[in-house]
Structure 1
């Protein structure tokens, strides 16, 4: 094998020395756009696999199909930047990159096929490194734990096990913050980066961020500085988390109860919204919830009755009339179908947007959803008048619950 000399700082740049040298189990990087975090990770993986014989890497994202145009592309870029293309082989079906001299591999998997993650193995060396890109997409910490537990077995020095976790920060309620940024652990390096450590940006690139700082400071905090928060595009912004006694609120003049049910089973949770609406003061109070996968109809009825809501009027997703009938027979005599009509989602959203939403802290799933319920974007990254089909189970249940108050024609909330 021919010898090639490179000066690593010239290739990698500045701002990531601690990242580059850390050998603990979790190396976590959140950052703004243009902070070169993904490119730096790709360079580290290629450099380290060539340095450490026997090391293999798993690269994961929530959805497998997104890997080709992100991590796979970044790793190809890193191989070219290090000028070692002749030593690497690429395959696209399935995605795979092989270091030719030793047979070490970079494998790619998605959380949309969890069996392929838990059963992964390599024929040469050991699987010791894992890059989890866009980790904010992983909504449930238990899904990450499944991945974490899949990288197991003895790794002999000088090799070491390590998870590299990278993401743009969405909001401070994400499990990533509590797990990696709110603790002190010698096994964790949690780092925040931003565009100011990227010395390869030109003046026009930098001006974009300076203009953002001036014209849209909220966006700048996240997209510019890499701080926790929401960049833009939330469907509901007029809400707060606040302790309150719902029995006292229910006694207030004109306040009515509102319950909505969205059905789920294997992949999606069954979601019950429990709220109070004060039309005169344009306020919605969210005081309780049910949010659980794999609930059979009998379990749904039993849980609602156990919580004391069995006699309430509950508006449920009209796409499951059989389940609604069964729940009625199981004792929920106030359950009914949501109504049908055109533009139901947007009309429901527009009505709710005129209200302030106060959320009891125990409604953790509602808080997670409402702080991640976003407007969708087209292929040009422009917002469209349709919410993303995610973080929407309790959001849908809330609209069902409030349909009697929605103005205009009859709507469907499915």
Structure 2
């Protein structure tokens, strides 16, 4: 039996499939909403990778073991059948595994509610080189995932890890944070039902999505769009986390640079951005941070901007650092600040149609802007007025950098 991948893999996954085939990826994080076909894709890719590496075995995991049979086990069996390999695999539920008969390679299934089974796992030959964490956000955190990976990937020349999940609403969830962390060999892919061929979903699915969109757009964005929509307390609802090319940066006429001072636990924070006055869109593309960093060492970090105008916080001893940097030849000036400047600067940032942040270039900016939320009264749950003065170093740096822009609008 022959098969066509285009019939069983959504077109949205053509690029990650190509990169895995080229061997330039060893971790794929698939996130998205309902009907995005990410689990179907991962199951097919996992089987294909197993066949390409005859000494390799695979482990598929979910947080709770009793969910395996009706989810990932059924999904792998589906992929095997769709690839025309049903007569090549022996699939059993006790033990729960799919064995490739010609070589004896195994796809094994485990729940993390019994981690001892993973620690004692043995294979008759070869090594475990493939892992799939389904519903990633349900696991206990990045440390648990890392511990499992260290136990599994202990030998062999090849490894591939798949991680799939529907993003939780809150940006602070560890899985959402993990997505924006840069790591060699890791790529992140986002898909939705809109990238899936509609005939695969059926009219009822599409009608339900349209209905939710009409009555509750926020729930629709989260459930079907796979968006991190928060709990209604996020300060910045205009974020776009996406790559910003070097070419785009070089083509911009105006660049702005800001400096927020710190030592420990507050860090030194430098931020670089460009602003399109025509579209009123801010692009954040540069982000340096360090703790316990004296002025002379920090000057080495940002020396590429020695001749650029850098607007820095003069408070908390910042005036002395500004003087030090000016004596070293930097074009650094003090932010004006003043009463109401925090509120005015943040309100201006909120008013923009979009704040675009490159999460790979600027992991601190992506994290801060995504997680910055209004505070609540601990007893009543009521949202409090004002902006929290915590975990906002990049945000402050942006306010300083763009003072000349937002002050023209009425401050």
| TM-score, scaled to structure 2 | 0.54
Contact 2:62-2:112 within 8 A present in 1 as well: yes
Deviates more, 1:56-65 or 1:45-54: 45-54
Within-5 A mapping of 1:129-278: 129-156=130-157, 160-170=158-168, 171-179=170-178, 181-199=179-197, 200-229=200-229
Shift of residue 78 of structure 1? Answer: 1.1
SS at structure 2 position matched to 1:142: helix
Contact 1:213-1:220 within 8 A present in 2 as well: yes
Structure 1, unmatched stretches of 5+, are 231-236, 242-282, 287-351, 364-414
Distance 1:164 1:208 in 2: 29
SS at structure 2 position matched to 1:27: strand
Shift of residue 355 of structure 1? Answer: 4.1
Distance 1:62 1:77, change over 3 A: same
Alignment correspondent of 1:11: 8
Alignment correspondent of 1:313: none
How many residues align structurally? 244
Distance 1:176 1:11 in 2: 27
SS at structure 1 position matched to 2:109: strand
Shift of residue 141 of structure 1? Answer: 2.0
Distance 1:355 1:222, change over 3 A: closer
Alignment correspondent of 2:405: none
More helix by share: 2
Contact 2:10-2:37 within 8 A present in 1 as well: no
Alignment correspondent of 2:273: none
Contact 2:31-2:166 within 8 A present in 1 as well: yes
SS at structure 2 position matched to 1:356: coil
Structure 1 runs (4+) greater than 3 angstroms displaced: 183-186, 237-241, 283-286, 357-363
Contact 2:2-2:83 within 8 A present in 1 as well: no
Distance 1:194 1:25 in 2: 23
Structure 2, unmatched stretches of 5+, are 236-374, 392-411
**What RMSD, in angstroms, separates the aligned Cα atoms of the two structures?**
2.7
Deviations 1:290-336 (A, max 9, x none): xxxxxxxxxxxxxxxxxxxxxxxxxxxxxxxxxxxxxxxxxxxxxxx
Shift of residue 108 of structure 1? Answer: 1.1
Distance 1:357 1:138, change over 3 A: farther
Deviates more, 1:61-70 or 1:210-219: 210-219
Distance 2:31 2:233 in 1: 26
SS at structure 2 position matched to 1:120: coil
Distance 1:79 1:5, change over 3 A: same
Deviations 1:73-115 (A, max 9, x none): 1111111212211111112123111111110001111111112
| TM-score, scaled to structure 1 | 0.54
SS at structure 1 position matched to 2:130: strand
Within-5 A mapping of 1:399-414: none
Deviates more, 1:181-190 or 1:169-178: 181-190
Contact 1:29-1:165 within 8 A present in 2 as well: yes
Contact 2:2-2:84 within 8 A present in 1 as well: no
Contact 2:126-2:156 within 8 A present in 1 as well: no
Distance 1:148 1:128 in 2: 10
